[in-house]
Amino acid sequence: MKFEKSIALQARLEQLIPGGSHTYAKGEDQFPEGCPAIIERGEGCRVWDVDGNEYIEFGSGLRSVILGHGYRSVVEAACRQAMQGNNFVRPAAIECEAAEHFLGLIHGAEMVKFAKNGSDATTAAVKLARAHTGRDLVAICGDQPFFSVDDWFIGATPMDAGIPRAIKDLTVKYAYNDIASVEAIFDANPGQIACLILEAEKTDPPLGGFLHKVQELCRKNGVVFILDEMITGFRYDLRGAQEIFGLDPDLSTFGKAMGNGFAIAALAGKREYMQLGGLHHDREKVFLMSTTHGAEGMGLAACLETMKVCERERVAEVLTRQGERLSAGVLKAVSELNLQDYFGLAGRPCCLVYWTLDQDRRPSQPFRTLFLAELMRRGILAPNLVVSFTHADSDIDQTVQAIAEALEVYRRALDEGLEKYLTGRPVKPVFRRFN
C-alpha cells in the first residue's frame, strides 16, 4: 500500500487542528506510524482512503454507523428533510414524531430531549440529578473509559489539565461488578451523592446481580440512577441494555448508533426528573440542553429512519450473528497458533474488542500496533472488531483470513522479538497526562 497523500494530508491536519483530529480516538497516535489512511469515502462496511486503498472497516464512526456508510434510506430521509428546511424559529413537526417513536421503544422513559452529541446528554442528566436532589457529588464507574467531554468527568481522568480542583473533588469512583465499592462511596458520602452513572455492560458481563443491586442502592440512598446507553442502545438491543437486563433507570442517555453517523443524541427519563427543564411554576427551572442545533431536522430524520430500519430488519440480531461468526473464526486462528495467552476477544459479539499481551503476558501497545499494521496491509481497518449491519458473510470471512495471517506475524514476533517486525512508534492510550 502507498500512503503518500494520506501522509501529506495528515501533516496539514496537524497544522490546522490541535492533535490533527477533532476526536482523540481518531488521532494519528492511535494508528501505526507511516500508514495514517485519511478517509475519502465509505460505502457499506468498506472505506477508501485518499490514496485509493480499500479497507473493510470495523467500529465505523466510533460505533455510530450501525447500518453502514451511506445507507441509502437514511441518507434519503435526511436529504428530504433538509430540502424542507433544517432549522426554524419554532419547533418542527418532526420533533414530535421523533420523540413519540423513540419513547415508544424505550419502555421506562416518559420524556425525551434531543441533542447533537452524547456529552450534552450525560451532562444534562447530571445537572437534572443535582437539581432534583440538591446534592453535588457524582459517582462514576471507574472501569469504564468515557462518559463526557465536560469537566465533571474529564477531571477524573489523567487529562485533567485546566479543570479546577473544586470540580475534580465533586466526582467519586466505584468499580464495576464490585458492589462493596458502591456501598463504600455511599457510606463515605452520606446524603451527598446526586447521581450514579454507568454503562450496563462494557467488556465484562454483570455478575451476581450487580446492576440490580446498584439500582436498589441508588433508590435506598435517594441517588438518581443514570444508565449510559451510548454504545449499548440500538446495538445490544433496539430498546437498549435496560431491556436486556430488566433495569428501570431514572434517566438514560443515547447516541452513536441512533442516527447511523448523523449527529443525534438523546436524554430520556422519568417525567419527575425531565420536567425540571420544562415550563412549571412550583420550583426553579433547570437550563436543560437548550441548543440551536439540538433538534436540527436532518439528524432527527436520520434518527427516525434508523429506528425504523433497526425495527424492520431486526438489526441487533444481525449484529450478534455476524459478531459470532467473526469471533468463532478469530478464536480458531488463535487456538491454532497457540496464542490464547497473548491475544483474545472481549465484549458481546455485537461489540467486540481485542486485547494484546507481550511475552510476559502484560498489556502491550507495541503488539497492538503490530497487529493493527498487519491488518491494514491486508485491507482491514480495525481498531476494534465492532460489526455493522452491512458486514456480509464474505466480509467477515475475508477479515478472519486477514486476522489469521496477522496473528502468524504476531506469533513470530513473540518468538523472535518484536523489534524484528515492528517499525515506528507504538500507538498510545487516549487518556494520558503527557504526549
Quickly state the pLDDT bin for 281 (edges 50, 70, 90): low
315-336 and 393-416 are packed helices; what angle lies between their axes, rounded to 10 degrees? 30
Residue 289 has pLDDT above 80, yes or no: yes
**236, 265, 295: which is the final residue of a domain?**
295
Instruction: Tell me if 34 is assigned to some domain.
Output: yes
Of all residues in the chain, the percent with pLDDT exceeding 90 is: 92
Asked whether residue 12 falls in the same domain as residue 133, the answer is: no
Asked whether residue 269 falls in the same domain as residue 324, the answer is: no
Asked whether residue 190 falls in the same domain as residue 114, the answer is: yes
Beta bridge partners of 198: 227
* CB contact at 8 A, 182 and 196: yes
Instruction: Tell me if 274 is assigned to some domain.
Output: yes
* Cell numbers found for residue 2: 502507498
* Cell numbers found for residue 140: 462514576
| Cα–Cα distance, 220 to 147 (Å, whole number) | 24
Q: Please give, one letter per residue, the 3-state secondary structure of the chain.
A: CCCHHHHHHHHHHHHHCHHHCCCHHHCHHHCCCCCCCCEEEEEECEEEECCCCEEEECCHHHHCCCCCECCHHHHHHHHHHHHCCCCCCCCCHHHHHHHHHHHHHCCCCCEEEEECCHHHHHHHHHHHHHHHHCCCEEEEECCCCCCCCCHHHHCCCCCCCCCCHHHHCCEEEECCCCHHHHHHHHHHCCCCEEEEEECCCCCCCCCCCHHHHHHHHHHHCCCEEEEECCCCECCCECCCHHHHHCCCCCEEEECHHHHCCCCCEEEEECHHHHHHHCCCCCCCCCCCCCCCCCCCHHHHHHHHHHHHHHHHCCHHHHHHHHHHHHHHHHHHHHHHCCCCCCEEEECCHHHEEEEEECCCCCECHHHHHHHHHHHHHCCEECCCECCCCCCCHHHHHHHHHHHHHHHHHHHHHHHHCHHHCCCCCCCCCCCCCCC
Tell me what the mean pLDDT of segment 92-100 comes to.
Answer: 98
Asked whether residue 199 falls in the same domain as residue 232, the answer is: yes
Instruction: Tell me if 301 is assigned to some domain.
Output: no
**236, 263, 295: which is the final residue of a domain?**
295
Instruction: Tell me if 163 is assigned to some domain.
Output: yes
Asked whether residue 107 falls in the same domain as residue 136, the answer is: yes
Range of the domain at 221: 87-295
Instruction: Tell me if 154 is assigned to some domain.
Output: yes
Q: What is the mean pLDDT of the chain?
A: 96
Q: What is the pLDDT of residues 42-85, one digit of tens each?
A: 999 999 999 999 999 998 899 999 999 999 999 999 999 999 99
Residue 435 has pLDDT above 90, yes or no: no
Residue 393 has pLDDT above 80, yes or no: yes
Asked whether residue 201 falls in the same domain as residue 260, the answer is: yes
Residues in contact with 312: Cβ distance below 8 Å, sequence separation at least 6, in sequence order: none
Q: What is the pLDDT of residues 320-374, one digit of tens each?
A: 999 999 999 999 999 999 999 999 999 999 999 999 999 999 999 999 999 999 9
pLDDT on residue 144? 96
Asked whether residue 154 falls in the same domain as residue 290, the answer is: yes
| Cα–Cα distance, 263 to 259 (Å, whole number) | 7
Instruction: Tell me if 109 is assigned to some domain.
Output: yes
Tell me what the mean pLDDT of segment 151-163 comes to.
Answer: 95
Quickly state the pLDDT bin for 429 (edges 50, 70, 90): confident
Quickly state the pLDDT bin for 96 (edges 50, 70, 90): very high
Q: What is the pLDDT of residues 226-274, one digit of tens each?
A: 999 999 999 999 999 999 999 999 999 999 999 999 999 999 999 999 9
| Cα–Cα distance, 366 to 372 (Å, whole number) | 10
Q: pTM above 0.85? A: yes
Q: How many CB atoms lie within 10 A of CB 173?
A: 13
Instruction: Tell me if 309 is assigned to some domain.
Output: no
* CB contact at 8 A, 169 and 250: no
**295, 328, 356: which is the final residue of a domain?**
295
Residue 91 has pLDDT above 70, yes or no: yes
pLDDT on residue 65? 98
Asked whether residue 375 falls in the same domain as residue 226, the answer is: no
Tell me what the mean pLDDT of segment 169-196 comes to.
Answer: 98
Q: How many CB atoms lie within 10 A of CB 324?
A: 16
pLDDT on residue 285? 87
CATH (domain of 259): 3.40.640.10
Asked whether residue 286 falls in the same domain as residue 326, the answer is: no
Asked whether residue 137 falls in the same domain as residue 260, the answer is: yes
Instruction: Tell me if 77 is assigned to some domain.
Output: no
Asked whether residue 291 falls in the same domain as residue 341, the answer is: no
Quickly state the pLDDT bin for 407 (edges 50, 70, 90): very high
Tell me what the mean pLDDT of segment 104-109 comes to.
Answer: 95
Asked whether residue 289 falls in the same domain as residue 325, the answer is: no
| Structural domains counted in the chain | 2
CATH (domain of 345): 3.90.1150.10
